[in-house]
A and B are shown apart, each in its own frame.
Chain A
Amino acid sequence: MLVSNIEIIPGKRISKHLGLVQGNTVRTKHLGRDLMAGLKNIFGGELKGYTELLNDAREEAIQRMTQQAEAMGANAVINVRFSTSSVTAGAAELFAYGTAVILE
């Protein structure tokens, strides 16, 4: 499964357009990490725990998106976009969407 955020894949032709596919996940971190982040708010710096968490969540959103594309019979997802929104305090939604296509 090819995933890309450009509209035209160099050297390949789109033979069929299958429409929008999407994947999302809502994640929250555990209390220990929250406490650590609270401490970090005094000293500043990178919150590694959160970076990791968001990376994992994004991977999962992409995975769900590609699963949906596979179910439609696509072999590529192009023009992929990401969006993040905080649902409540302490939870974030990661959303990935793109266009499922069949490439020759």
Chain B
Amino acid sequence: MYDLIVFLALLALGYFFGRVAESRHFKSIREREQQLASVLAFSERLPPPSSTPRRVALVGGSVVVSVDYFKQVAAGLRSIFGGRVMAFETLLERARREALLRMKQEAADLGAAMVVNVKLETSSISKGNKGQVGAVEVYAYGTALIELA
């Protein structure tokens, strides 16, 4: 009985705080994406040809995002029936967009107008702990091209 109350309380806390944190995060991501829209990111391997001299620099951004309790339980239930795990899809989307934004921010601070050869790397950390998905890390990196005026 006691366990059930703790479980439900954790579930409610996770659902409520997780929801709020997620919608707030998405809002801030959308805002910053607007601000940084002038920095272009390409997955092209080579920079486009240009006659003006340019300097290059490695830029990157990383973020570690944790799942909340509700998502963990929801995903656990999902794995019984199979199918799309919406809870984790939004988590990973948040992490990727955030990492890209941080990379763009670093490029913008250097005065770059574009980032080429962007790679995204995802790894799950603290997976080893028993029974928990823990957190995912996303690292986005690329080469910023800085025009020398």
Contacts and interface: CB of A to CB of B under 8 A. Distances in A.
A48 B64 CA distance: 7
Interface of A: 2-11, 37, 40-48, 50-51, 54-55, 58, 62, 80-86, 88-90, 92
Nearest to A49: B64
A4 B64 contact: no
Contacts, number: 135
B64 A51 contact: yes
Interface of A is mostly: mixed
B119 A81 contact: yes
B10 interface: yes
B82 interface: no
A43 B15 CA distance: 8
A11 B123 CA distance: 35
B132 A6 contact: no
A28 to B, nearest CB: 11
Contacts of A84: 121, 123, 137, 139
A104 to B, nearest CB: 14
